[in-house]
């Protein structure tokens, strides 16, 4: 089953599964945006729009998702924001270089088949000095995690990868430096990470 097909099927039940557990971490990850001057911000992998209630209104947003089914559910949550929705692939973003001041990647790096390509694309479209804010689940470097690795071949085909090591993903991406890395949920399996575009 392709990712596009599976998330089209998941769209009607996605909020019931994800909204409650992720709400606090989403709010924490997005709170720093309120202190920024008006900016162009990419919400990469916007899904059903669970980030939208936590976004400050002064910015111009672009919300990208792979499926029309997810975007259709995000639309009603965007009434008080300056936002456009784009259907596209996070691994091949349909935007020119340096299109955005900042990017938000909440629960997308561990979803896409190629997290390195996803992060490299985010780096490409963010202007020098801009930030990339991440919320996702990652294995710690060197972690054995036998159950997650056992489940990963099935899980990655249906919904999400369980074997992504963030440090490995970042090491393959030029132009990004780590600013902060905080535990978010489940004893640090989920992390809030801020990166800065350097050049």
Residue 70 structure tokens: 């997810």
pLDDT digits (tens, 9 = 90+) for 26-40: 999 999 999 999 999
DSSP SS3 for 129: strand
Q: What is the CATH number of the domain that holds 71?
A: 3.40.50.150
C-alpha separations of 177 from 92, 116, 131, 193 in Å: 21, 15, 10, 11
Closest CA to 103 of 57, 40, 164, 192: 40
Which pLDDT score is estimated for 152? Answer: 47
Mean pLDDT of 41-54: 96
Which pLDDT score is estimated for 142? Answer: 67
Query: How many domains is the chain partitioned into structurally?
Result: 1
pTM of the model: 0.89
What domain range is 93 assigned to?
Answer: 3-197
Residue 50 structure tokens: 């669970």
Which pLDDT score is estimated for 164? Answer: 76
pLDDT of 74 over the 80 cut:
yes
Give the dihedral sign, CA 151/156/157/159: positive
pLDDT of 186 over the 60 cut:
yes
Cβ–Cβ < 8 Å for 132, 195: yes
Mean pLDDT of 88-98: 97
Question: In terms of pLDDT, which residue wins out, 152 or 121?
Answer: 121
Mean pLDDT of 7-19: 74
Give Cα 183 to chain centroid, integer Å.
16
Q: Residue 90 belongs to what H/E stretch? A: none
């Amino acid at each position: 089953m392709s990712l596009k097909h599976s998330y089209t099927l998941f769209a009607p039940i996605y909020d019931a599964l994800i909204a409650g557990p992720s709400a606090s971490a989403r709010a924490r990850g997005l709170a720093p945006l309120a202190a920024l001057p008006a900016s162009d911000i990419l919400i990469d992998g916007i899904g059903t729009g669970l980030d939208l209630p936590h976004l400050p209104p002064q910015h111009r947003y672009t919300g990208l998702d792979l499926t029309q089914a997810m975007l259709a559910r995000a639309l009603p949550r965007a009434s008080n924001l300056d936002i456009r929705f784009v259907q596209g692939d996070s691994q091949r973003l349909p935007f020119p270089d340096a299109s955005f001041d900042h990017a938000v990647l909440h629960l997308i790096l561990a979803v896409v088949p190629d997290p390195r390509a996803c992060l490299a694309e985010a780096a490409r479209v963010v202007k020098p000095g801009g930030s990339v804010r991440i919320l996702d689940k990652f294995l710690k470097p060197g972690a054995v995690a036998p159950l997650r690795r056992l489940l990963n071949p099935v899980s990655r085909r249906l919904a999400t990868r369980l074997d992504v090591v963030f440090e490995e993903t970042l090491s393959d991406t030029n132009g990004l430096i780590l600013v902060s890395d905080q535990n978010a949920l489940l004893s640090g399996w989920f992390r809030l990470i801020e990166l800065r575009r350097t050049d």
